[in-house]
Structure 1
Amino acid sequence: MGYKVVVAGATGNVGREMLNILAERQFPADEVVALASRRSLGTEVSYGDKTLRTRDIEGFDFTGYDIALFAIGSEPTKKYAPLAASQGCVVIDNSSLYRYDPQIPLIVPEVNPDAVEGYAKKNIIANPNCSTAQMVVALKPLHDRARIKRVVVSTYQSVSGAGKEGMDELWDQTKAVYNPTSDVPPKKFQKQIAFNVIPQIDVFLDSGETKEEWKMVAETKKIMDPAIKVTATCVRVPVFVGHSEAVNVEFEDFLDEDEARDILREAPGVMVIDKREPGGYVTPIECVGDYATFVSRIRQDSTVENGLNLWVVSDNLRKGAALNAVQIAELLGSRCLKKG
């Protein structure tokens, strides 16, 4: 006996990855249904060696289904998630809609698995922002050892974080650079993304930070520890898949770089690749398709009393979105739900 699972947004980048990962990890599902908007109705998507034909989310009855993985954006989620939850299906939502609701758990299974018990308040669990998810996986084991006071992070985020339109825009603009008769003006991004970097992800807030930067601050506090101070600069870069982060951490207690390296080598979900030689680190293109969060360039920061620098890389469509959602489903199944 297994679970009955729904994947909403099955034709998008993240939805397709959710289906792939459910199959790869052999999630115990007796039935998997792929949902999409009416304009994508009937589109075929892969689930392991099976092909699923998408069904219309409009009017879908979630009664009798155990878990719904949502990858449809905040506005549709606002409509369909409460409906699914009211019909007894636990929603694991990838949008930002519910992340800051105190009654809804925000979960990274390697970091705060016990929070899953709070799902029953609204039958909804939030999946964190992609850039936050990989960072806290790397930080949590170090926080447990030496208590983090402050984090300064600069992100280098791939265009897949902006969906298919972002990936298409990078591809089309890159081709246009080599074709003098072609011009592809920015649509998805604020400026040309090909051969460029853009220090803006999401809208600007009154504070001067972008909403993406604010998300990293708020989510790290909710997932790990509200006492941690976080400041972020989030940058879009011309990489198709894979987010990178330069993370500076200040601790309450001294933590030697060698001990930090040993701790991270034993940490769940973390892979340390850290050789002090040319190429002895991981770059985004090398992490695509992998489950792990990779940590490199671990070194002491001599400008503060108890500081370390880290380079953190992960496949944002996987750990930053689809994988984390499936891991939450696994956690929910093992701790809270009965099969069948």
Structure 2
Amino acid sequence: MSAPTQTTARGAAASSPDAAPRGFLGRSTRRWLLLAAGLVLALVLPWVIYPPVAMDIAAWALFAVALDLLLGYAGLLSFGHAAFWGGSAYVAGLTAVHWGLPFPLAVLVGAVFAMALAWPIGMLSVRRSGIYFAMVTLAFAQMLFFVVNQWRGLTGGENGLQGVPAGFFGVEAVEREAFWFYYAALPMIIGGMWLAWRVVHSPFGRVLVATRDNPARARALGYDVDRYRVMVFVISAGLAGVAGGLFAISHGFVSLQEVAWQTSGKVVLITVLGGIGTLWGAIVGAVVIVILEDQLASSGFDGIGIITGSVFIIVVLLFRRGVWGTVADAVARRTGRRPADEAVGAADGEDGR
């Protein structure tokens, strides 16, 4: 491709309303404040709520960020991400049980497995789009569910994988107490979120947005759309794998639920609830759903799905861009920083990224 064509492609991608703004967070005081608030919230979370619930929020937040990277910026809705969350959970658990590795290493092994699994699935799936892409990913996830369920000698089948240790280089406080485990796992969560942010705010991320908005034009400019989609699919799977591995080890148990289609549906709900294409919205959605489910379960209420489903319907009807996306758009309107983008499904206010 010639240099003028590359320049034109970059300009087309950057001119998209959803293109990531240039520059680091330090160029905006508001962004620095937002980042600082997020870090403070992450640090104080186990002090204000039950530490295992805080760990669940962190894991689901990273899982939702991973899906938002695929859905919000590549325009691909996956109903099979439970395969990467759950597959990594089983591999991390088995690694910790049989090899006795510290949990950060076990989680990384699980994430590598998730990425290796995602590569062939992505190669076959990205040739389709819309509901067809979603159904293909769901089919692959159900295949993994069947394998895990039938391979009882390794995975425990319906009984799950039990007694997963949270080894951490012999530090007993981390290995035995959920409070300290949260802080030991937090750098991996933050690192995963930083990676997602870096992908979005890079030339690669701008091309992703271009392939989402107009794949035909991106191809005409010389970009291999399928290759970009496979790459972001693998990155998304790796981040989901980190989240799934941490979730499994923090609970000391891996169940079939981790590879079930309901898990894929839950992370989609979290992402849409917070706001597609915002990253921050995934975190907000995880906080809302995990705390809501915990409170309902603690009260003995059995119809948790009814409540969470009702909340989802209300948000979809009243907040077109999700909770975070709607708030970010309202702030942008009031400050006059940029006009609101009327495209459905892309919450792209600068304050929301």
TM bracket (short chain): under 0.3
Structure with the higher fraction of residues in strand conformation: 1
Structure scoring higher RCO (CA < 8 A, sep ≥ 6) equals 2
TM-score normalised to structure 2 length = 0.22
- Going by fraction, where is helix more abundant, 1 or 2? 2
Query: TM-score, with normalisation over the residues of structure 1?
Result: 0.23
